[in-house]
């Protein structure tokens, strides 16, 4: 299983159930990495997607404590054990943990790789955070891409982390 997220300088990921920054390049990266794959997310993350619907061409495994309707693109789980059991039925490289905060905190240690877009800003105050992988002894930075500037003027880079405990 992999993790994918965009984080600010403080490892913030969101505010009021929305992304902190709109970076078209990062959204394109997310789409490239996850199309045709499996996304694990919480109900609020799913509801933050366009139209509050599953993203096209992906299977969604949704972790929630409340009732939520399933469909052919989306399976709902009320506990991590049953969710992980279902996730294990897919190739590990095809499964991406995609938020939100509580889902990341529960499952990030089970991810072998973390695809992190680091946004060089903390101008928007975050209310949701990803654990800081730079301070987690189980994770190491494998690669950091060149610093880029989004078409909206925000600097960012793509990074890849590896969970040493799962190597």
Domains present along the chain, CATH in parentheses:
2-166 (3.40.430.10)
Q: What are the structure tokens assigned to 111, written together? A: 């991810």
Tokens of 154: 């925000």
- Which whole number is the average pLDDT over 9-36? 95
Q: Quick one: pLDDT at residue 26? A: 95
Please report the pLDDT score of residue 64 as a whole number.
95
Torsion angle of C-alpha atoms 47, 9, 157, 143, degrees rounded to 10: -110
Residue 167: pLDDT band (50, 70, 90) is: confident
pTM of the entire predicted model = 0.96
Indicate the SS3 state at residue 36.
Answer: coil
Residue 40 — very low, low, confident or very high, per pLDDT cuts 50/70/90?
very high
Instruction: Tell me what percent of the residues of the chain surpass a pLDDT of 90.
Output: 92
- Strand pairing class (128-129; 148-149): unpaired
- Which pLDDT score is estimated for 68? 86
Instruction: Give me the chain's average pLDDT, please.
Output: 96
Query: Band of the pLDDT at 71, cuts 50, 70, 90?
Result: confident
pLDDT value of position 33: 98
């Amino acid at each position: 299983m992999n993790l994918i997220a965009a984080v600010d300088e403080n490892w913030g990921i969101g505010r009021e159930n929305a992304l902190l920054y709109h970076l078209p390049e990062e959204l394109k990266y997310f789409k490239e990495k996850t199309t045709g794959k499996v996304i694990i997310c919480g109900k609020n993350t799913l509801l933050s997607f366009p139209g509050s619907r599953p993203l096209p061409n992906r299977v969604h495994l949704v972790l929630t404590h409340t009732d939520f309707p399933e469909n052919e693109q989306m399976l709902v789980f009320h506990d991590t054990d049953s969710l992980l059991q279902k996730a294990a039925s897919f190739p590990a490289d095809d499964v991406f943990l995609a938020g939100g905060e509580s889902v990341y905190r529960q499952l990030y240690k089970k991810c072998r790789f973390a695809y992190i877009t680091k946004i060089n800003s903390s101008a928007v105050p975050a209310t949701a955070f990803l654990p800081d992988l730079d301070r987690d002894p189980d994770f190491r930075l494998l690669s950091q891409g060149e610093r880029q500037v989004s078409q909206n003027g925000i600097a960012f880079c793509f990074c890849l982390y590896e969970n040493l405990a799962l190597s």
